[in-house]
Amino acid sequence: MIAALVLAGLLLMPADVMAAPQLRYDVEYPAIGYSERARTDRVADLREALAEGRERLSFDPRGGYLTSLLESLDIPVSSQMLVFTKTSFQGHLVSPERPRAIYFNDDVYVAYVQGSEVLELSAIDPVLGGVFYSLEQRPDAPASIAEESDLCLGCHDSFGLSGGGVPRHLVGSMLPDENGMSVTHEGWSLTDDRTPLRRRWGGWYVTGTHGTQEHRGNVIVRSPADVPTLDFGASGNRVELEGLVDVAPYPTPHSDIVALMVLEHQVHVQNLITRMNYDVRSALHAERLTDEVVAKGGEPLVEAMLFRDEAAVRDAIAGTSSFTEDFEARGPRDDQGRSLRDLDLTTRLFRYPLSYLIYSESFAALPDVARRYVYRRLYEVLTDSTPGPAYAHLTDTDRRAILGILLDTDPAFANLGLGRSLP
């Protein structure tokens, strides 16, 4: 069964286009061993448990295995986001009337398409990065998961046409017509936490309030001639989707704005972790590791983790589901009750602007020289009274709070002794 995850544009191509005699990663990154290395991500663990009968999923007539799968992977239903662009291999099933639902936690993504024979899954393996799977929606057979990475990496790849790419996830925006196709020459563009809100979420349904700020969600363009006069203000600040789409087939009626914002940040940082991991491991394997190699991957990662150039939030933002509370509850918290998961949503996304992905297994799996570089640079920025224009958005209060949270909640950081002197 051909399937792979599309995060609002995790683009896919037909098998006959993508299939290749040998996965290019195995040629370009022998140190990674993408094809041969045992998968250790959460979906791989579930796949093994299902095959061995240690776990079972329940089939529901409405969503098939969806609800049971989310529970098993500890993915909150409140993370649901609805996208209706035809930016996947299942595009023929997707439209403004039948959007794809995306769900996620820190390291797993699940997609549900009405009428599809499969659920689409992707997970972040600590060493390999993105690994892609499918789960057949068959009530007459035990649930089983198949890997689909060879197919999906045709598009889930950076610099894929020129070589040197790594697995990645993609989130994007475009102005769609009533069939879910782009109506402008701009097409589909990547978005992350640096993208101004006014350029985000084209092709998505969005529930939530955001004051006078505009975004491209909830918009269907009837004619290209209408683009110059589109009123994005009229399509925002929706607390429900009634009148736009029938949400009865989905576990929840929301497509939460806060979930969308967190997703964009998360995917951006995960991709940079994977990029640094591949480059440093490859240089170590070839005995060509230099300070320049480490810095080339490390500096963009540090900047992203500290939200350099984050798009401004001018008015308060509020979601419509329990996603904000569910996300914040995952902790960890320091001895003052502070967490890197605490959301701000009034002037920026997070109250303490350092990415919670510093706790992720993929960050922990970076080669020591890479992880220590990031920790060192974070410490330098957080303790320098004049960290430079790149980090002018961090006040003294911000930097003290972030450092305090790290020392209390990240043993790997605290054990390096950075609070006393740099190693």
Q: What is the mean pLDDT of each run of 10 residues along the chain (423 residues)?
A: 39 39 78 93 97 96 95 98 88 93 98 96 96 94 86 60 74 91 79 97 97 96 87 94 96 98 98 96 96 97 98 97 98 96 98 98 98 96 89 96 96 78 38
Give the separation between CA 134 and CA 374, rounded to whole angstroms: 34
Determine contact, residues 407/332, Cβ cutoff 8 Å.
no
Encoding tokens for residue 342? 């605490």
Q: Which residues, listed in sequence order, are joined to residue 256 by a DSSP beta bridge?
A: 207
Q: Domain count of the chain?
A: 1
Supply the pLDDT for residue 92: 87
171 in a domain, yes or no? no
Specify if 181 maps to a domain: no
Q: What is residue 151's predicted lDDT score, i.e. its pLDDT?
A: 57
Cα separations in angstroms, 406 against 69, 114, 194, 207, 273: 33, 42, 24, 33, 18
pLDDT at site 185: 67
| Residue 310 domain-assigned (yes or no) | yes
DSSP code, position 358: G
Ranges assigned E (strand) in 63-186: 81-83, 100-104, 108-112, 118-125, 129-136, 145-147, 172-173
Q: Which segments of 342-390 are extended strands (E)?
A: none
Question: Could you tell me if residue 226 is inside a domain?
Answer: no
212 within a domain of the structure (yes/no)? no
As a whole number of angstroms, the distance between CA 120 and CA 169 comes to 13
Cβ atoms of 43 and 49 within 8 Å: the answer is no
C-alpha 302, offset from chain centre: 17
- 313 inside domain: yes
Alpha-carbon separation of residue 350 from 190, 261, 324, 355, 416 (angstroms): 21, 10, 11, 9, 26
The confidence score (pLDDT) of residue 418 equals 65
**Rounded CA separation 362/377 (Å):** 18
Q: Residue 228: phi, psi to the nearest 5?
A: -60, -20
Strands 108-112 and 129-136: unpaired
Domain extent at residue 316 = 257-414
In a domain, 346, yes or no: yes
Phi, psi for 18 (deg, rounded to 5): -95, -25
Is residue 344 in some structural domain? yes
CA distances from 368 to 115, 270, 364, 371, 396 (A): 46, 18, 9, 5, 29
